Structure 1
Amino acid sequence: MSDHPSQHQRPERAIRSYVLRKGRLTKGQQRALEELLPRFAVPEAPRVADWPALFGREAPVALEIGIGGGEALVGMAGRHPNWNWVGLDVYPPGVGKLLLSLEAEGLDNVRVGLVDAVDFLADQVPDGSLAACYIFFPDPWSKERHKKRRLIQAPFLDLLAERLAPGADLFLATDWADYAQWMVEVMEAHPRYANIHGPGAFAPRCPDRPPTKFEERGEQRGHEVYDLHYRRL
C-alpha cells in the first residue's frame, strides 16, 4: 500500500457532478457545524489522511460518497462498530444533520468531510486504504445534456480503484432506471471491477442500506430502486 495518493490519477475536473445549493440551516445544524464538525472532521492537514491516527485505532475504513441526511451512514456505523467510517458531502445542512445524529447516537467511529469527493479521493486518501465504498442515490442528471455530469464514469472509477484495496466492495444504488443502466454499462466496461452477481446483473438490496429520504421520495414517484455490487480486482 502506498502512503500517498497517486497524483496522476486525478480526473479532469472541468465538469463537476453536483451543483452547490443554498440550503437553509436550522439552529441545530448551525450549532453542529460550529461545535461538532471540528471534532468529527477529517483535517485538511496533514494532506494525506492517516486513518489509524485519525480514528485512534486500526480498523477497516469504509467511505460513503454523498451522505444526504446521514441516515445510511449512521445506520451502517452503528451496525458495524468494528469498522471506521468516512462520509463526504458538499451540502452543509446534510452534514449538520449527520453530526447531530452522531451526537445523539454517541457514535465515535465516523469522520466527516464537507468536501468534494473527487478532490478528497485524489488528495487525501492513501492508495489501497479503503475496504469498501458506498454511493447511494447520486444525482441522476436525467436530462440528456446533463449526463456528462454523472459521477459514475470511467475517470472517477479509475481514481476510486486506486484508493480501494484489492477485494474491496463497491455498492451503488439509484432509483433512476436510465442511470442504473448507465452504471451497469460503465462498470462492466471497467477492467478493475467485477460484478458480484454476474455480468450485467443487478444486486439484491444492500443489506447495510437503511431507507433514506431519497429512496422514499423515489418510491413515492413510482421509481424502482436498483442496487449494484462490484468488487475491486
Structure 2
Amino acid sequence: MSTPSPTAAVLIIGDEVLSGRTQDTNLNTIARFLGALGIDLLEARTVGDRTAQIVDSLNALRTTYDYVFTTGGIGPTHDDITADAVANAFGVALPEHPDAVAILEKRYGPGEFNAARRRMARVPEGGSLIANPVTDAPGFQIGNVFVMAGAPRIMTAMLEDVAPRLRTGAIVHARTVQVSGVGEGTIAEMLGAAAKANRALSYGSYPFGHGSVGEIGTNLVIRGRDAAAVDAAVDSLMADLAAAGIEARVITA
C-alpha cells in the first residue's frame, strides 16, 4: 500500500491583500513549488493583521494538514504581528533568536540596527530560521509551520531553504485536451462519465472565450499520480470526442 502524499495549506496574512492594494502572487508560487514536490495543497486562507484571526486560522490549519506556509507580517513595523500570533498559537515565548540578531547586526551595521529592526530577530521559542538570501532578515519554522515574508521575491527565495525540510510525495501528472467550438455544457455528460469510470484521476473543465468575440472552447485537464493511467484516460477521451464529431487536440503532455 502506497504512503499518502503530504498535505499543505497556505495562510496569507495582510490587510493590504484584503483591501486590494496588494495583489497576492505568493499562493500561485507556493502551489507550483509544492506540486513539483508531490505535496497536495488543499486549502488557502487570507486573513488581515488581526492576532485572533491569525491564531484561530493557524491552529485550525496546522492540526489538519502536514504543512502550513504563511506569508506576510514579519517586517519591522507595528502592524507586522505574525511572529507574535504564531507564538500565541503555539503557546510559547517570543525571544530574540541569537543567530537572527547576528545576521541582522551584520546586515545593518553599527547604529542602524534599531528597535524596529530588532523585531525581525524575534522567533517563537523552539523555532529555527529560514534563510533569506535577498534581504537577510530570516523567516522561521516552528513545528509544521513555515513563516515567510510577504514580498514575492523574498518569499520565493526562502523556499529554497524550505524544500529540503519537506517530505515529498508522488508527483501529479497533468495533461490538457483542448476542445474547440463548443462550450463545456456540450461535453459535460461525456466528461462526467469518464470521471466516474476513472475515480483515481481528477478531471477538470475550464471554458474559454465566453462572452467575447472569437473562438469558444473548453480545456479539459486530467490529473493523476500514475502517468500511464493519465495517458490512457487522455486517449480514451480523445476517442470519445472524435466519435461525437467534436474537434479536440492535446495541448500539453
TM-score (norm 2): 0.30
| Structure showing greater Rg | 2
Q: Which has the higher contact order (CA 8 A, sep 6+)?
A: 1
More strand by share: 2
Query: What is the TM-score when the length of structure 1 is the normalising length?
Result: 0.32
